[in-house]
Structure 1
Amino acid sequence: YDTLKKVLAGEASTDRITGIQQELADISGHMLHFMENHDEQRIASSGFAGDARKGKPAMVVSATIDGGPVMVYFGQEVGEPAAGDAGFGSATRTTIFDYWGVPHHVRWMNDGAFDGGQLTPEEKELREFYRRLLNFTLGSKALTGEYREIHTYNRHHTEWYNDRVFSFARWKGDERLIVVVNFDASEAFGFELQLPADLVAGWGLDDGSYTLTDQMNTGTPVIRVLRVDHGNARVRIDIDPLGSLILSVGT
């Protein structure tokens, strides 16, 4: 959490993620993953990111990087900013006391209909992002399997790949995933993402072309093809500001 918060705020490089994940590798499956809770500032609050959308890439990393449990704090999925005055402290956290209110969450409740009828279009889009991400994680066996960061390899070998982007691979059985996120809120990036040769060999990818399907896409499908030539694999990635890609590798 602490590392992702600093990366999200632009105070740290994505290079930091590889180190902390390696340090926690032996206990990662037992650690609770979260981007908000009652002790921490809301992503949308002025004391954190000031915009709930900025939490998207961090949430994708948090939910898919290992097999640990994932928590979404109530109202996070609709951008609750905790902007009200609780009578003490700073207005950046949702208090645990029952006199407090969570206006964004209340709008989703919609006078007892619980259908999001009073949400703004932006809040509905954010909730759909969380719904799609969390439902995917529930059914993906790759997210219960192996992990390999490919960020460091691409930092050293891929032009235009940079420290506002992060990438890694997850796999189990015949399900293979490539996850790429962009933490930058204003810049889109394009580059030829590469897979290390030992990962290509471990996945048993023969020379040829493999279609990648983005599990987070809700619009017009974008055709991405992983091309393997003499054991070298690469795919063109164009990723929007705050964009996230969970790419499943076809056969």
Structure 2
Amino acid sequence: MSTNKNHKLIIYQLLPRLFGNVKSTNKVNGSVEENGVGKLNDITDKALAEINKMGFSHVWYTGVIEHATMTDHSRYGIKADDPDVVKGRAGSPYAIKDYYDIAPDLAVDVNNRISEFKQLIARTHSNGLKVIIDFVPNHVARTYASDAKPDGVRDLGQDDDASVSFSPVNDFYYIPDQHFVVPIGYNPGGDEFHHPLKDGKFDEYPAKATGNDVFNAAPSINDWFETVKLNYGVYNPNGEKIHFTSEPPLWNKLYDILAYWSDMGVDGFRCDMIEMVPVEFWSWLIPKLRKNYPELIFIGEAYDKGQYDNYINKGCFDYLYDKVGLYEIIRKLTCDEWGASTWGINAVWNHDTCGLEDHMLRFMENHDEQRIASRYFANDPFLAIPGMIVSATLSTGPVMIYFGQEVGEPAIGASGFSGDDGRTTIFDYWGMPEYQKWVNNGEFNELQLSDNQNKIRNFYSKLLNCVKRNEALREGDFYELMVANEHQPGFDTKLYFFVRYTQSQRVLVAVNFNRHEKEMVVKFPQDLLKKLNVHGNITFTDSSSGRIFDTQDIATGLKIHLQPSSGLLLHF
């Protein structure tokens, strides 16, 4: 794992395509001219200073690498993509068209798009933040072809033998003697979009396997049909049999790509769908990169709890998504689902991620998930307060906020390829109405925000800065208080209590997921009091309000009152 000494990553995920876009047209399936697009240059020093001020340490710039799009950039010498294999007018950021290039949509001067990205890296660093970008290792766009690769670099598939379905030295999988078939019923860009290549066909012969492990020439409309799967020397149709004794050519090509971006100053990579790539690749790639870039951070998108240990200890990842663990428990509690209990939080750290707590990335939103303020989730950003407190303070592992979450962006309505599903589109040109109020035409301030939006944004700012500055929350040990309190009157399984502590600092975290207020006495076990060396009258101070809670004798516990859907960080 990385030798990076930043004990608590606080990550802000943003899509540059949407971040700086101030147009409010929001026409379904609208063009870049109609709906607008954000630029790298829109992420100004002022914007970055405000992100830093809010408590963040890292920015994950999502969708900066060139990907397939329905927008024609041929006037800049960029080959147009066939819309029949592109999802959305803007295109999916996860259908990479050139690993060595920046998306032309994001540049003010398209011919200098790499320079504009380098300038963004420099601005980010000068504002005290580090840079994370995506690495998409499992698949690329069907139109992949690098025109920006350095001299001497062999392109993906350039040396493949396409007459065979599989070879350990091929970069792609093939379906010999068959033409690729565009899924029936796909209408790229909607009825109003016209394009000379929009004809329900795409010239790919022989057909290549599709990104989500579809090994036939005709993927369905629900498949990742716009992508082709990369070959790591594993023959999937034959029971995941490994066919490599040394690294296949693809491995070195991908190493060179990550070294290219690391040389540019990128500080870390969020790696897409890591479980679709053999762990042997990661255990080869990451240590090799760290020989030259020892501080690189690697975050893996992972969903199989049974493989967490494998990808941390063998695959050398720093952090993994905690989606199927804490996220799902917190979401149920936030939505007040029947049977939801904070004992599920205990189950996550006690069983699901046992021994790996500090390696789990916690979040309540990202580009794949529904917005908290949407009608598909909580329909109210304030209901996320207890869940965000737990997500941010449960361990020393990173916490992540998705841009717009802090002002209650609700993702209302369909935008094009992205339907009305409570998610902010990653496929379409679009504006985020509530977030645009904070952007405020490049002023990046609260002047257009409502009182409630300022309140929820202030909550996030206070929480994240407390985590950033408090040693106990940033790097301290954890002590769970549920077992010590479960038999006393007033105990409720929608309350959660724990202590984070170091030798010099201590914080009691108390949250209430109930939609009504709760009051109880929190008991502290004798072994914890001895460990903390505290006794007698102890004063507790709330980090947000400065409110004082006194106990005449901590051995008898601390009486606290919790508002509905709220929490306290009590320093003592």
TM-score, normalized by the shorter chain, greater than 0.5? yes
Report the counterpart of residue 4 of structure 1 in structure 2. 330
- Partner of residue 343 from structure 2, selected from 12, 15, 22: 15
CA deviation string 1:170-228 (max 9, x = no partner)? 0011201100001112x10111111111111111113x2011010122xxx43211343
Aligned length: 241
CA deviation string 1:112-148 (max 9, x = no partner)? 1111211100000000000000001011111211101
CA distance in 2, matches of 1:154, 1:26: 24
CA distance in 2, matches of 1:100, 1:123: 21
Report the counterpart of residue 569 of structure 2 in structure 1. 246
CA distance in 1, matches of 2:349, 2:419: 32
Report the counterpart of residue 108 of structure 1 in structure 2. 438
Displacement of 1:152 in angstroms is 2.3
**Secondary structure of residue in 1 paired with 2:520:** strand
CA distance in 2, matches of 1:136, 1:98: 36
Report the counterpart of residue 390 of structure 2 in structure 1. 61
- Larger mean Cα displacement after TM superposition, 167-176 or 4-13: 4-13
Q: Is the 8 A contact 1:170 1:178 kept in 2?
A: yes
What CA RMSD, in Å, does the superposition of the two structures yield over aligned residues?
A: 1.3
- Give the residue type in structure 2 aligned to 1:5: R
User: What are the residue-to-residue correspondences of 1:45-84 with 2, within 5 Å?
Assistant: 45-84=374-413
Instruction: Report the TM-score when normalising by structure 1.
Output: 0.92
Report the counterpart of residue 547 of structure 2 in structure 1. 222
Report the counterpart of residue 26 of structure 1 in structure 2. 355
CA distance in 2, matches of 1:91, 1:20: 28
User: What are the residue-to-residue correspondences of 1:118-157 with 2, within 5 Å?
Assistant: 118-143=448-473, 144-156=475-487
Displacement of 1:83 in angstroms is 0.8
Q: Is the 8 A contact 1:205 1:228 kept in 2?
A: no
**1:199 maps to 2:528:** yes
Q: Is the 8 A contact 2:415 2:428 kept in 1?
A: no
**Secondary structure of residue in 1 paired with 2:401:** coil
Instruction: Report the TM-score when normalising by structure 2.
Output: 0.41
Displacement of 1:74 in angstroms is 0.2
CA deviation string 1:147-181 (max 9, x = no partner)? 0110222122x211201111101001120110000
Report the counterpart of residue 429 of structure 2 in structure 1. 99
- Larger mean Cα displacement after TM superposition, 169-178 or 79-88: 79-88
**1:178 maps to 2:508:** yes
CA deviation string 1:14-65 (max 9, x = no partner)? 1111111212131121111110001000001111111010011000000000
- Larger mean Cα displacement after TM superposition, 92-101 or 102-111: 92-101
**Secondary structure of residue in 1 paired with 2:441:** coil
Displacement of 1:233 in angstroms is 3.8
- Partner of residue 188 from structure 1, selected from 517, 525, 545: 517
- Give the residue type in structure 2 aligned to 1:105: Y
- Give the residue type in structure 2 aligned to 1:10: D
**Secondary structure of residue in 2 paired with 1:128:** helix
Q: Is the 8 A contact 1:15 1:152 kept in 2?
A: no
CA distance in 2, matches of 1:161, 1:86: 45
**Secondary structure of residue in 2 paired with 1:225:** strand
Displacement of 1:98 in angstroms is 4.9
CA distance in 1, matches of 2:427, 2:388: 26
**Secondary structure of residue in 1 paired with 2:448:** coil
**Secondary structure of residue in 2 paired with 1:110:** helix
- Give the residue type in structure 2 aligned to 1:246: L
CA distance in 2, matches of 1:203, 1:35: 32
Report the counterpart of residue 366 of structure 2 in structure 1. 37
- Larger mean Cα displacement after TM superposition, 102-111 or 121-130: 102-111
Displacement of 1:67 in angstroms is 0.5
CA distance in 1, matches of 2:445, 2:408: 16
CA distance in 1, matches of 2:507, 2:436: 36
**Secondary structure of residue in 1 paired with 2:443:** coil
Gaps of 5+ in 1: none
CA distance in 1, matches of 2:558, 2:421: 44
CA distance in 2, matches of 1:72, 1:82: 16
Displacement of 1:89 in angstroms is 2.9
CA distance in 2, matches of 1:106, 1:124: 14
Moved over 4 A (4+): none
- Give the residue type in structure 1 aligned to 2:479: R
Displacement of 1:111 in angstroms is 1.6
CA distance in 2, matches of 1:114, 1:205: 45
- Larger mean Cα displacement after TM superposition, 132-141 or 2-11: 2-11
- Give the residue type in structure 1 aligned to 2:461: R
Displacement of 1:84 in angstroms is 2.8
**Secondary structure of residue in 1 paired with 2:496:** strand
- Give the residue type in structure 2 aligned to 1:173: Q
CA distance in 2, matches of 1:183, 1:209: 29
CA deviation string 1:63-99 (max 9, x = no partner)? 0000111110000000011113223433300111351
Report the counterpart of residue 154 of structure 2 in structure 1. none
